[in-house]
Amino acid sequence: MSEFMQTIERAAQTIRNDAHRRSCPAGKGKNQHKASIAILAGVDLFMRFVTRNSHDFSLSKEAGSFEDFKENLLSRAAMILEKASVAREKAAEIGAQFIHDNSVVLVQAYSRVIMSVLYHAANVQNKRFKVYVTEGRPNGDGIQAVKALRTAGIPCRAVLDSAVGYIMDKVDMVFVGAEGVVENGGIVNKIGTYQIALVANSLNKPVYAVAESYKFVRVYPLNQYDLPSEIPEIITFTSRRKSFSANNDTLSSEEIALSNPSVDYTPPQYLTLLLTDLGVLTPSGVSDELIKLFVN
């Protein structure tokens, strides 16, 4: 069984390395993987389950051959996958309760769980509301969200990322997704989430982060440069001579994207509530849920 566990651990490490490689902006291709932090959280949670399940099974009366252990592990893993598959819909159902009739909602670019929240509020709860969607630079996936919402019959409008402060007075609430929910209750999400939360907080607008519980990750970032993925150092400058050389007078959108981070960290004090498939949590309650996930 120890050899089997080593094989599982090697597979998990391969997934971690691949997620890390995809999150790094090196190279010319668009290989930044938005869900890399969620992958790391999911792998850690699954490995904890495998270790715990192996120990419990070896001490149980059902312990037998390796095939018995394998069958037990696969059946339990299938249960985890089934729970994960419905986590988004559960989080969306809870999140939709916080959208009021005739309200104006601001969302950050495209997020599958946020789209599910809006669909549930409009189509299941039959609420009427309007949505502002930030464009979501550098890839502009907010435009994808606008098209999907208009197809669903939900009034919406795209706004510039830089216009968030301008339109915040018209907004009743802010909804953001999360690539990872960290131990102190803060979130790691698409770049621009932090500044949206800062503006909303200064104008006393509630900020709701919606995330599935398998995105809870055991890291504790202290600042923007302490994230669990490698991001470019944005405050590095070239020399004046190099900056103003003839070969450097144009800068493409791709070069800007590759020289800037793709995610940022929003501290818990700027979040009103976390809406998850486990229920409604205050940021301070995340550590308790992490203990339950990794211990129970």
Average pLDDT, the chain: 79
Strand arrangement of the beta sheet that strand 156-159 belongs to: 156-159, 129-134, 103-107, 173-176, 207-211, 273-276, 279-281
Q: What H or E segment, with its residue span, contains residue 61?
A: none
Single-letter amino acid, residue 77: A
pLDDT at 110: 94
> In the chain, how long is the greatest CA-to-CA distance?
76
SS3 174: strand
Question: What gap in Å lies between CA 229 and CA 16, rounded to an integer?
Answer: 11
pLDDT at 222: 84
DSSP states of 21-45: HHHS--SSS----TTHHHHHHHHHH
Could you list the pLDDT tens digit for every one of the 296 residues in the chain? 455 445 545 555 565 555 555 544 444 434 344 556 666 666 666 666 666 666 665 656 555 666 776 776 777 777 777 777 788 999 999 999 999 999 999 999 999 999 999 999 999 999 999 999 999 988 889 999 999 999 999 999 999 999 999 999 999 999 999 988 988 899 999 999 999 999 999 999 999 999 998 888 878 888 888 775 555 555 555 555 555 444 555 667 777 777 778 889 999 999 999 999 989 999 888 877 776 665 55
Question: What gap in Å lies between CA 27 and CA 168, rounded to an integer?
Answer: 37
Through-space distance between the first and last CA atoms of the chain, rounded to whole angstroms:
22
* Start-end of H helices in the chain: 2-23, 36-59, 66-96, 112-119, 142-151, 164-167, 193-202, 240-243, 253-258, 286-295
- Classify the C-alpha dihedral 221-223-224-225 as positive or negative: negative
Single-letter amino acid, residue 274: L
Segment 105-150, tens digit of pLDDT? 999 999 999 999 999 999 999 999 999 999 998 888 999 999 999 9
Residue 44: CB atoms within 10 Å: 19
Q: What H or E segment, with its residue span, contains residue 157?
A: strand 156-159
Pick the closest to residue 230 from 42, 84, 41, 24 (CA basis): 24
pLDDT at 122: 96
Question: What gap in Å lies between CA 55 and CA 62, rounded to an integer?
Answer: 12
Structure token digits, residue 218: 């055991």
Pick the closest to residue 208 from 94, 123, 132 (CA basis): 94
Single-letter amino acid, residue 164: V
Residue with token string 């102190």 = 184
Segment 171-184, tens digit of pLDDT? 999 999 998 898 88
Q: What's the number of CA atoms in the CB half-sphere (13 Å) around residue 16? A: 15
Residues 6+ apart with CB under 8 A from 124: 93, 96
pLDDT at 231: 53
Q: What's the number of CA atoms in the CB half-sphere (13 Å) around residue 46? A: 25
pLDDT at 131: 97
